[in-house]
Amino acid sequence: MPAHKHTPWTPAKRRTSAAPPAPTGLVVRSAIFDRILQAVMEHRLPPGTKLVEDRLAELFDTSRAQVRDVLTRLTDEGVVTTIPNRGAFIASPTPDETREVFEARRLIEPALVRRFIEQGDGLALVGLRTLVEQEEQARARQDRPVMVRLSGEFHLRLAESAGNRMLERSMRALTLLSSLAIFLYDAPHATACREDEHRSLLAAIERRRADRAAALMLEHLDHIEASLDLRPAHDAPVDLAAALMPR
């Protein structure tokens, strides 16, 4: 009888659950950057808010160096103002700066609409349509923060898909500054873009009517700026006698 061959037994390897890799510094900085931008777009971080490095490092469980890098990038984007010996603050655009923001947008965005139509990117068009639908849903449930953010994202997404990175970068800064200006100079009806204007603009883009879309964009920006109260504040004169008389 032939001898049976015995395969030597080896113990099975113990399964070990590898810990997920720690996020890299770039991932952490991007997460903080995106979170701050979203809070600005949703009007949860008002202009003038101080961004304390220690507190942000604690909230995001990271180092002050990482936070400092994010604040530097936000300063480059125009979202944060750094004041020597005082710290970093969410920017507060003045009325004149706000007018300049909308002047720049009127120069850039009609051209972006034309470029978007030339690109003929069907997937990007689907994305714009989804944003408009989400914005309308937020408006219906009176969710102001989400409505404001989606309104800004519509303009950003259009810029991202138009095929010019320099204009895209400019539009990101201009859109964020617009959001801060709306927060500062908001009339009650200026919570976001008008109810039907994104829908009308989208319809012109879908029909590839470049002249019509560019004209609608200009009207749209005019309406947003006109809804803001950018008049200089006039403090009432103080009556010294009334102020200083004993009560």
Average pLDDT over residues 35-52: 91
Distance CA 241, CA 237 (A): 12
Whether residues 82 and 104 share a domain: the answer is no
Please give the structure tokens belonging to residue 33: 């950057």
Q: What is the mean pLDDT of the chain?
A: 85
Residue 1: count other Cβ atoms within 10 Å of its Cβ. 3
Domain boundary among the residues 47, 70, 90 is at: 90
pLDDT of residue 240: 57
Whether residues 34 and 154 share a domain: the answer is no
pLDDT at 207 over 80: yes
- Render pLDDT for 115-147 as a digit per residue (tens, 0 to 9): 999 998 899 999 999 999 999 999 999 888 888
pLDDT at 20 over 60: no
- pLDDT band at 222, cuts 50/70/90? very high
Average pLDDT over residues 61-76: 94
pLDDT of residue 7: 46
Residues 57 and 64 sit within 8 Å (Cβ to Cβ): yes
Selected residue with higher pLDDT from 145 and 187:
145
pLDDT at 172 over 60: yes
Distance CA 7, CA 186 (A): 80
Selected residue with higher pLDDT from 77 and 192:
77
pLDDT at 9 over 50: no
pLDDT of residue 10: 42
Whether residues 114 and 78 share a domain: the answer is no
Residue 132: count other Cβ atoms within 10 Å of its Cβ. 18
- What Cα–Cα distance (Å) separates residue 202 from each residue in 85, 133, 226? 47, 11, 22
Average pLDDT over residues 156-173: 92
CATH number of the CATH domain containing 57:
1.10.10.10
The pTM of the full predicted model, rounded to 2 decimals, is 0.78
pLDDT of residue 239: 65
The residues, ordered by sequence, that sit 6+ positions from 22 with a Cβ below 8 Å of its Cβ are none
pLDDT of residue 241: 59
pLDDT of residue 93: 95
Please give the structure tokens belonging to residue 92: 């507060």
Whether residues 152 and 74 share a domain: the answer is no
Range of the domain at 133: 95-226
